[in-house]
Amino acid sequence: HRYATTRQLAQITELSGQYGSARSALRQTSRRLRRQHGLGLVAHLARRIGGTRAGSAGYVWYLTAAGQRLTDEGRGARRRIQEPSALFLAHTLAITQARVVIEQAIHAVGGHLARLRTEPACWRSWLRLGGALGWLKPDLEAITATDTGAEDHWLLEVDLDTEHPARLLAKCHDYQAHLASGTFQAQHGYYPQVVWLLTNQARAGRLAEQIAADQTLTPGLFKITAAPEQLAALIQRGP
């Protein structure tokens, strides 16, 4: 992830079963981050989520250049570190939180997170009709596995009520075009479930109505959630 708070990282590491409680996971995660910060592998933004009262739990962390070199083993382009805008940071942390919700949800029913890809690793391209190159740019890709070995493949779009509704529908048409191309199905034999994670039920309802009214969109291709608990229930239920 590009950015993550101390609390989000603690929630992820808590699932490893190493800690007896959420408080212990937060304490040990903070300790490890301080050590990695001292080694020059991670750093945190000046701002904190929740303000100064949040303490170290509100720090927003990112990998330094040294940390990136260590984790990607020299592959891929380096991310340039600069203070992000409030809107960009909020969206990025919302993506990180979606991962937390997904992993907690599948872990609660005895499964695990089998694959996670963030952007741009989760982006994919295809040839549109006429030969133009099309790009699909989900915010997150995840594969969850149940205790029986079954796997569910998810592509997530996270919206914080900042995009025009017409833009959301245009993204749906990008997924439809990618589905129609058959490129993913030819390689994998199936197509992922596309999930919208929105901020409120009213906005989710409007998008659902638009999708249902559009005869060019495949029914069932999109699932729309408006709260973390709805996303969690979907992950546990399956596509």
Domain of residue 121 covers: 86-239
Q: What is the pLDDT of residue 77?
A: 58
Q: What is the pLDDT of residue 76?
A: 58
Among 29, 61, 84, the domain boundary falls at 84
The encoded tokens of residue 104 equal 């907690």
Predicted TM-score (pTM) of this structure: 0.91
The dihedral region occupied by 76, where left means phi > 0, alpha psi between -120 and 50, and beta the remainder, is: left
Among 51, 84, 117, the domain boundary falls at 84
Q: What is the pLDDT of residue 157?
A: 98
10-27 pLDDT, tens digit each: 999 998 888 888 899 999
Same domain, 90 and 184: yes
The encoded tokens of residue 163 equal 């995009």
> How many C-beta atoms surround the C-beta of residue 69 within 10 A?
13
Per-residue pLDDT of the chain in tens (239 residues, 90 and over written 9): 999 999 999 999 998 888 888 899 999 999 999 999 999 999 999 877 766 555 677 899 999 999 999 887 556 556 667 788 999 999 999 999 999 999 999 999 999 999 999 999 999 999 888 788 999 999 999 999 998 889 999 999 999 999 899 999 999 999 999 999 999 999 999 999 999 999 999 999 999 999 999 999 998 999 999 999 999 999 999 98
57-73 pLDDT, tens digit each: 789 999 999 999 988 75
Q: What is the largest CA-CA distance in the chain?
A: 58
Q: What is the pLDDT of residue 51?
A: 61
Same domain, 104 and 214: yes
Instruction: Give the long-range contacts of residues 136-142, CB within 8 A, separation 24 or more.
Output: 136/174, 136/175, 136/178, 138/194, 139/91, 139/95, 139/98, 140/95, 140/98, 140/99, 140/116, 141/115, 141/116, 141/117, 141/192, 142/99, 142/102, 142/113, 142/115, 142/116, 142/117
**DSSP helix/strand/coil, 152:** strand
For residue 30, the domain's CATH number is: 1.10.10
- Helices and strands of the chain, counted as H and E runs: 8, 10
Same domain, 93 and 79: no
The encoded tokens of residue 199 equal 């901020």
Number of structural domains the chain divides into? 2
Among 84, 110, 131, the domain boundary falls at 84
**DSSP helix/strand/coil, 198:** coil
Bridge partners of residue 117, in order along the sequence: 141
